[in-house]
Amino acid sequence: MLKRFISKFKKSPDASNHQADIIAHQDHAINPDRVSENAVKVLERLQRANYGAYLVGGGVRDILLGQSPKDFDIVTDATPEEVHGLFRNSRLIGRRFRLVHVVYGRDVIEVATMRGNHDNAKGKHQSKKSDSGMLLRDNVYGTIDEDAIRRDFTINALYYDISDRTVHSYAGGMQDLKKRRLRLIGDPATRYREDPVRMLRAIRFAAKLDFSIEAKTAAPIKELAPLLLDIPAARLFEEVLKLFMAGYAHKTFALLEKYNLFAQLFPHSQQCINENDHYRNLVNFALINSDKRVAQGKSLTPAFLYSVFLWPCLLETARTLRKQGVPDVPAMHQAATEVIGNQQAHTSIPKRFTIPMKEIWELQRRLERRQPRQLDSIIGHSRFRAAYDFVLLREQNGEKLDNAGLWWTDYQEQHPEALYQKPERPRYNRNRSRNRSDDGPHRISKGRSGSGSSDSGRDGPHRVSKPADDGPHRVSKRSRKPHRD
Ligand code: ATP
Ligand code: MG
């Protein structure tokens, strides 16, 4: 078995120190039935075509930990073009990090080609780094041994071979998994410089898996946190969704603050939170509530999350404007535009979320005032539920809103027919709309990434950032280093 494995892949001369511990099927806890049918199809087709193919990353890690994987990632020694040639239902994505998506309806299986050692690559295959050490391009292909050490954490360098059901554990991944320890492969500072998003990934996995972060892995984070300023805002938006929408938001927030990372993502919010604990409590209550919603299988919307994170900034900015003589209502409007504009420079927010955010904020005043003539239009508003939840949240945080929350709870019970109903989609449109993200009041699409952009969201192994997305709503206030490509 071992011989077959070794002959499958050519070893590079310097990979000899990075060989796998091979764990036979009776010695690990992966039940092949837990691997998705589509991932199995992809693995088997690649192997039948005589390519090496493994399940890797979260798919292996989470099954070993008894959790349900979010997605299944596959790695192969076939080039992206060869993979694309094998699957008619596939598309090549990414330029700086080429990958293949094999698409089965809403289910997308990501197939990456094993990444190799940069130093041996020549010409157009060379990887490219910025002055700060960030990888700008990484299409150097290699062997499984090389691929393993290019992955981020040891627990993500576990490869499952479906044909003989062995697990190939690199860099002590299996031991770390047993010790519930998150450890970066290689020198942590260098690896964070290559891709600063790894700092966010460390926090995400520590919170999600309830793992400790090994001291050497944790040590450079606080100091290197500002490197996140070099990451395109669109990619950071996707990371924020992964950090806060997966059911571990409360713990994640504490860790992000501890490691100086929240300040890189939401600098103005962090400043307001530092100045006033009332705001920190609001965020904490919101995140505890949203974790509960996820645990109950309820939906969440990024618009609600962002409206909470930016609420302190909104109030503070409006206060400043009022001091300058701007009347109440225009001050809130102007503040909303300014606050969202400033945040776009850090984590871009698609327009389909900024509009509901503004509506949630705007409805706060109307929900508090309860003007009789407006009641029907308020309760029939498409953001009523989210705005009402926001009122409850503010009351939970000790604000005295003259019992507005309770009042609206009663009003809804008495007028269930007046509540906003999502319009049915016309039948002829069914197929087209099925794959689109549905951003109803509390809804985040579970299929593909929240922004709908296949390139900005998915971080395949060693995926590096795409160029900053300076969309029409972008106010680029961050100082950025130019990307050279
Ligand atoms: P999850 O899917 O639950 O978020 P994951 O570990 O599978 O966790 P993915 O983003 O799906 O994360 O990436 C799949 C694998 O690719 C990872 O397990 C890791 O091996 C590798 N990888 C992803 N992003 C990076 C990165 N920025 N640097 C190095 N390796 C990475
Ligand atoms: Mg994954």
Residue listed under structure tokens 């450079």? 220
Task: Let me know if 152 is a catalytic residue.
Answer: yes
CA-to-CA distance for 354 and 472, rounded, in angstroms? Answer: 13
Task: Let me know if 71 is a catalytic residue.
Answer: yes
Please give the distance of CA 272 from its chain centroid, rounded to a whole number: 24
Question: Could you tell me the end-to-end alpha-carbon distance of the chain, in angstroms, rounded to an integer?
Answer: 43
CA-to-CA distance for 28 and 60, rounded, in angstroms? Answer: 11
Pocket-testing residue among 96, 149, 456, 462, ligand 1, by greatest number of atoms within 8 A of Cβ: 462
CA-to-CA distance for 181 and 211, rounded, in angstroms? Answer: 5
Q: H-helix or E-strand containing 181?
A: strand 181-182
Residue closest to 393 by CA, chosen among 249, 284, 285? 285
Collapsing DSSP to helix, strand or coil, 169 comes out as strand
pLDDT at residue 447, as a whole number = 35
Give me the DSSP letters along 347-408.
S---HHHHHHHHHHHHHHHHHHH--GGGHHHHHTSTTHHHHHHHHHHHHHTT---TTHHHHH
Please give the distance of CA 436 from its chain centroid, rounded to a whole number: 18
Task: Sort strands 73-76 and 107-113 into parallel, antiparallel or unpaired.
Answer: parallel
CA-to-CA distance for 58 and 71, rounded, in angstroms? Answer: 7
pLDDT at residue 126, as a whole number = 61
Collapsing DSSP to helix, strand or coil, 53 comes out as strand
Contact 249, 287 (CB under 8 A): yes
Structure tokens at 414: 């008495």
Nearest-CA residue for atom 6 of ligand 1: 58
Note the residue count of the chain. 485
Chunked mean pLDDT (size 10), the chain, 485 residues: 39 52 94 95 98 97 94 96 97 90 96 83 62 74 94 98 97 97 98 97 98 98 97 97 97 98 98 98 98 95 97 98 97 98 97 97 97 93 96 97 96 88 61 38 35 39 39 37 33
Pocket-testing residue among 187, 236, 459, ligand 1, by greatest number of atoms within 8 A of Cβ: 459
Domains annotated for the chain, with CATH where assigned, are 2-179 (3.30.460.10), 232-457 (1.10.3090.10)
Instruction: Write down the catalytic residue from 62, 73, 145, 291.
Output: 73
- Using the mean position of ligand 2's atoms as its centre, give its distance from the Cα of residue 177 in Å: 16
Task: Let me know if 138 is a catalytic residue.
Answer: no
Q: What distances in angstroms separate CA 407 from CA 92, 238, 388, 401, 463, one per listed residue?
A: 53, 37, 10, 10, 50
